[in-house]
Amino acid sequence: MKKLLAGLLGPLLLGACASIPNPDAPLPWDSQVVHGQLPNGLAYHLVRETSQPGRLDLRLTVKAGSVDEAEDQVGVAHMVEHLAFHSRAGGEHSLRQRMGELGWVQGRHFNAMTSYERTQYLIGPPAGVRQAPQALQALADLVFAGDYTAADLERERPIVIEEWRGGLGVAQRMNEQRTASQRVGSAYPGHRTIGNEAAIRSASLERLKAFQSRWYLPNNMVLSAVGDFDPQQLKAQIEQAFGKAQAGTVPSRAQRELPLDDKLKIFRLQDPQSGSNQVALLFRLHEPDSRGTTYTALREKLIDRMTLSALVDTLRRQPHSAGVRSLTAQKTLIGEHSTVLGIAAGVDGQAHEQALQGLLTEIERLRQHGFSKADHKRERTAIARLATKTVNNQTPRTFEQWVEQLNNAAVQDRPVSERAAVGRRYQKVLRTVSLRDLNERLALWLDSPDRVLQISAPGTSAVTLPSVAAVQAQQAALAAGRLPEPVRKAPPAAPAAALTLPAAPASATVVERATYPDQQVEQWRLSNGDRLVWLKRPGAEGQVQLQAESSAGYRLDGAPVWRVQMAAQLAVRSGAVGMAPQALANWRQAKRANLSLDHQPQRLQLSLGAPPEQLQALLQSYRISQTASIDPALFGESRAELLQRLRSRPDDVRSRQEAALRQLKYGTDHWQTPTAEAVEALTVEQLNADWQQLASSPVTYYLMADVPAEQLETMVRSLLATIPRRAEPVASQPVLQQPGQRRADLAIALEPRAVLQASSYHPQPWSPEAAVRVAVLRDLANQRLKAQLRGEASGVYRLRFDSELNPDTQRIESSLTFTCDPARVDELWAMAQRTLAGLDVDQAWVAGERRELLRQESKRRDDAQTQFKRLALSDRRWQDPRYLKTQAQLPEALTVPELQQQARHLFPLENQVQLRLLPTAGALEQAR
């Protein structure tokens, strides 16, 4: 009988085991994601999201980038991305032309990008899901047609060269140095995404097609789609567009990993235009176990995260030794399992040798003592809080969040899981992570034998690199001794003084009222001369929003701009005399009544937002700023920081370029960087006098709140109407481009390129209708300029035209910027002028723009931020809310005659000024 029972139970037990899920299985996909593969291996991730009716976002990720190039293919991955748009897929016209005929605009409706490890093609058709078949077929043709020609390559080659040229500069040069040192020995430094000029000029059609045929395989691609579609119908359309492509063998990706050794490598990172000043020690490792969403992978990832967080906190707590301004750490993931931990010390002045000693000391201190129980507890508490918040988060993902999540899934090769499931797994994993785990992970990182020492110095300042032997001797000497333990907790701060709010004087009065019931607006004039314009509806996310504006801009007679701006910035962080700035900051944060500052030439604007129940705190927060006295300690810290920046800042091209452009446009450089002597002579009394002048100017308040009028009036009379103001507004000066044509050339660039910056203006009274006409013409001008200068002339890649009807200056203010070969700048400038002067519109284009504006306006009328902005614009122009009444008629402003008339004033010849930033003779010679 026992044998029988055993025989019966055996299959049952086996069956039960088979149905138990693997406890270490990856987290499943979120149920909203429809995912799978076509028979040829193309993966698809689809999310139906209907919050934006009809919208469709498609992204095709090819898992191949510049690091996958062969040695003779430098720059080819990026050039394939460009040439894909020249493919015809057997038709008469290129894919770019086909998409243009559908009304799709590059940059708005379709685009592409290449990185080290992937290439992405993006399409968001203007007609949304109705154009899904065309969009999917366009994506399939982009990656599979490959029938571009040698003539296409020669047409596109100059554009790619201009993209390379446009990316040159100090940021690119420093980034190349960082990559060359951080990823030394790997394929990354030699395969920058854009390539280099020589590689671009020599790339052949055969090399492009060889790269595409090797990597552009359906089983090496992921298609992500978010939109208002039926997933089953979209799957059928995907099969129709992509199903005929043949799968292939995906090559090895070993080139994506860092080759490790047991050596210390030392690099200098320096550029004449860079202010970077630090010493960093990098530890390079292979850590394959922390990628993925299995229990084991998430545990490894959590240990990494907690260890790095504890490391950063520990470094911040340490007192700085001589030569060290700051200590920090960060970790970089590379390829499938390579990682780099960097621990860096900011250097004070030229004290690189001392900073290196300080950095090595802190690293050895960490190696000897590790983390404490308190560190572990703090990290556990933070993760537990975050996991609980994630589990309890029932808010559906937005359209944009789904796009981001699916994009991350394609890039990182992982599923998008339900947030609650991720949170629960982290809660489970967290219980198993001990202090020992964190210390063992820290030891693993710090004991890596593959190390890179980076030493950065600003400008052309001299710095001597230590030898490998000298650094190793320093490390050995530190390891031979016993260092004191790290500072385990921040030094006890002085007890935060409870914030005592000054008592408001007896209430003042509201002396005048006007009501606009159709727009839900009231206007009050207060007894101190201030005005309140109240839009009686909830602000963004139900908050109360307050915007206080005055004429106290930063261009005051007799005071330098930098000093006036510094006064305003410090005043809003200070309180009344004796009020600790930190106590004020803590109170504002607790009341969620934080304040932001926007200081323009002719306007001082303070903005606050808070929940409705914190309305009184919001008004108190503003009142404190108006009666503030700048805190002496805050002033001392800010002055010392400004002096440090001035003394370490290189004489860079950008600063000289901006100063020359201001001089050219305005006839004077209204913004001048202060000298160290001027900052040293600055006193807190000067800044207080500046702030008192600014704060005395009468204010207009724009308030958006759904609160009872009686409650609001009581607070306004007490907290706002009693703020002392002067009778007349502060007179700040406008910043206006001077009339006439002017040109200046500045031959100081270190790169072999020309940067042309041109601007023009036309006087015109502001109105919503005129402003929207300028906005649509700006977009049209950008399209036409790119079609001519990039498409027709193959002369530029980076080009931007901007135009705005400025309500402050009552002018159409326009600017054009592009980079190009210095030899072609005259030709391309003349072409740009002709394009802008001949800007014309037709009925079909106008009809399309009106439809698009109607669609946008249907959202904007429900958008609290847009309505708040339009309230302020209307009041500044007419002192009433008529814009809120007439906004529904905006699309009617787009007519052919009015747009044609407006186009003639977009970039008028008589007021054009241009600055040409040109290369030095040495830069040109080096380029040759």
State CA 745 to chain mean position distance.
32
Q: pLDDT band at 460, cuts 50/70/90? A: confident
Q: What HEC string does 233-259 produce?
A: HHHHHHHHHHCCCCCCCCCCCHHHCCC
- What does the alpha-carbon distance between residue 61 and residue 222 come to, in Å, rounded to a whole number? 5
- Looking at residue 865, what is its pLDDT? 94
844-854 confidence digits (pLDDT tens):
999 989 988 99
Average pLDDT value for the chain: 92
- Looking at residue 11, what is its pLDDT? 31
- Looking at residue 9, what is its pLDDT? 31
- Looking at residue 4, what is its pLDDT? 33
889-898 confidence digits (pLDDT tens):
999 999 999 9
- What does the alpha-carbon distance between residue 337 and residue 256 come to, in Å, rounded to a whole number? 9
Q: Give residue for tokens 């951080």.
A: 182
Give percent of the chain above pLDDT 90.
Answer: 84
- Looking at residue 517, what is its pLDDT? 96
Check whether 839 has a pLDDT greater than 70: yes
Closest CA to 414 of 331, 341, 336: 336
Check whether 497 has a pLDDT greater than 90: no
854-885 confidence digits (pLDDT tens):
988 988 998 999 999 999 999 999 999 999 99
Check whether 756 has a pLDDT greater than 90: yes
Q: Do 42 and 218 touch, CB atoms closer than 8 A?
A: yes
Check whether 128 has a pLDDT greater than 60: yes
Report the DSSP beta bridge partners of residue 799: 818
Segment 654-677 mean pLDDT: 90
- Looking at residue 23, what is its pLDDT? 60
- Looking at residue 80, what is its pLDDT? 98
| Residue 597 tokens, joined | 């500052």
Lowest model confidence (mean pLDDT) among 141-145, 479-483, 649-653: 649-653
Please tell me whether residue 121 adopts helix, strand or coil conformation.
Answer: strand
Give percent of the chain above pLDDT 70.
Answer: 96
| Residue predicted with more confidence, 476 or 499 | 476
- Looking at residue 917, what is its pLDDT? 96
- Looking at residue 673, what is its pLDDT? 85
Say how many C-beta atoms besides its own lie within 10 A of residue 481's C-beta. Answer: 8
Segment 290-300 mean pLDDT: 88
- Looking at residue 17, what is its pLDDT? 36
Asked whether the CA dihedral 211, 217, 222, 224 is positive or negative, the reply is positive
Rg, C-alpha atoms of the chain: 31
Angle, helix 352-369 to helix 468-480, in steps of 10 degrees: 40
Angle, helix 419-430 to helix 295-317, in steps of 10 degrees: 70
Check whether 326 has a pLDDT greater than 80: yes
Check whether 831 has a pLDDT greater than 80: yes
Q: Which residues contact 249 (CB under 8 A, 6 or more apart)?
A: none
- Looking at residue 15, what is its pLDDT? 34
Terminal Cα distance for the chain, rounded: 95
H helix or E strand, kind and range, residue 182? helix 170-182
What the chain holds in terms of domains, given with CATH numbers, is 33-252 (3.30.830.10), 257-398+405-480 (3.30.830.10), 510-719 (3.30.830.10), 742-927 (3.30.830.10)
With 0-12 / 13-18 / 19 or more C-beta atoms within 10 angstroms meaning exposed / middle / buried, residue 248 is middle
- What does the alpha-carbon distance between residue 251 and residue 121 come to, in Å, rounded to a whole number? 21
Amino acid identity of residue 570, one-letter, is L
pTM: 0.85
Segment 265-272 mean pLDDT: 95
Segment 593-618 mean pLDDT: 94
Check whether 810 has a pLDDT greater than 70: yes
C-alpha distances in angstroms, 522 versus 153, 512, 702, 709? Answer: 63, 11, 10, 10
Check whether 14 has a pLDDT greater than 50: no
Check whether 7 has a pLDDT greater than 70: no
Check whether 424 has a pLDDT greater than 90: yes
Segment 334-344 mean pLDDT: 96
